[in-house]
Structure 1
Amino acid sequence: MTLNRKSLMLIAAGGSLALMLGAFAFQYLGGLPPCKLCIWQRYPHVIAIGIGLIALRFGNALLAWLGALAAFATAAIGGYHTGVERGWWEGPTTCSAGPIGGLSTDELFDQIMNAPLVRCDEVPWELFSLSMASWNMIVSLGLMALWIAAARKSA
């Protein structure tokens, strides 16, 4: 049985959805808040999911190539994050914060002191000696292959 372009695109987008659901499960059920690089890896998955939804109506090759680009982007960020975790290179030195308007000095201090410190260079969870960032990279490269197969499929 061969799959048509639209089916391949939906499977690839479903893979991104599964990875996002897994990330949220680790975050909200497992108590592992994401670091900055973890958040960056999520954006291309959201784009790939959106492309998959658009593919329900328009399953053209351009969308498939855009999906492949999104999968490659998250794989590249995952590879970068893996290097940071393994100490191959330095990660970002900046941190992000939410809006602080309307808070008193004491409330702001309490918010800062109670914020979880999540470092990009520490591995909070691993399977077979691979971190979540490494698994994201590997699976995303597989999803990229699906997107490329969809792009190369004739309509």
Structure 2
Amino acid sequence: MTSDTIANPSHARADAALTAALAITAIAAATLAGAWFFQLVLDIRPCPLCLEQRYAYYLIIPLGALAAIAAARDAPRAVLLVGLAVLALAALGNAWLGTYHAGVEWGFWKGPTDCTGPIGNLGSAGNLLERLDTVKVIRCDEVQWRFLGLSLAGYNVLISLLMAAIAAWGIVKLRSRKRSW
């Protein structure tokens, strides 16, 4: 702690919120970059559930950056709390979606009909070959890549829970300091 942090508890709150927001933003950006690397470089194409899991990262990155800017400019405590709470909720929602997807992959429950189960109607026999050449269905219930027994959906759960835990840490730090307003 710096002498400024000891003398000014609101600065300590801002430091905790800034640290949490920057960490969450960096983790989300690295995760999204990794997802694009798997897709574009390794040619591991995302299924519809994979793509839906990216939405949270598209929200978390700019929101985390805004929360960091707000913390750096000593925004009111309530603003910082709301920002971190929204980050935590987005991460927890994404952890739930990743858990659902991993359960579909493991066969614990059925997934969405557009990416699991038998392939439906492909049209008339006349254009069947043409449609098969143009349509590539990426199935949600087939794992394309695993490391240490976890699929990308499983890693998404762990990463999302980590981001939620960091946001919770920031919230606890913000709430534990004496109010200076």
TM-score, L = length of structure 1: 0.84
Runs (4+) of structure 1 exceeding 6 A deviation are none
Partner of residue 102, structure 1: none
Which one has the largest radius of gyration? 2
Is 1:83 aligned to 2:103, yes or no?
Answer: yes
Aligned partner (choices 148, 172, 176) of residue 128 of structure 1: 148
Partners of 1:134 and 1:28 in 2: how far apart? 20
Q: Structure 1 stretches of 5 or more lacking a match?
A: 96-108
Deviation at 1:115, TM superposition (A): 2.9
Partner of residue 30, structure 1: 42
TM-score, L = length of structure 2: 0.73
User: Is the Cα–Cα contact under 8 Å of residues 61 and 152 in structure 1 kept in the other structure?
Assistant: no
Structure with the bigger RCO (C-alpha within 8 Å, sep 6+) is 1
Amino acid aligned to 1:20: L
Partner of residue 135, structure 2: 115
Partner of residue 90, structure 2: 70
Partners of 2:130 and 2:37 in 1: how far apart? 27
Partner of residue 32, structure 2: 20
Deviation at 1:50, TM superposition (A): 1.4
Deviation at 1:111, TM superposition (A): 6.6
User: Is the Cα–Cα contact under 8 Å of residues 21 and 65 in structure 2 kept in the other structure?
Assistant: no
Q: Percent identity?
A: 34
Is 1:40 aligned to 2:52, yes or no?
Answer: yes
Deviation at 1:116, TM superposition (A): 2.1
Structure 1 residues 33-87: Cα deviation after superposition (integer angstroms, max 9, x where no partner): 1001001100011111111121132231100000001111111110000000000
Aligned length, in residue pairs? 144
| Higher relative helix content | 2
Is 1:149 aligned to 2:169, yes or no?
Answer: yes
Amino acid aligned to 1:118: I
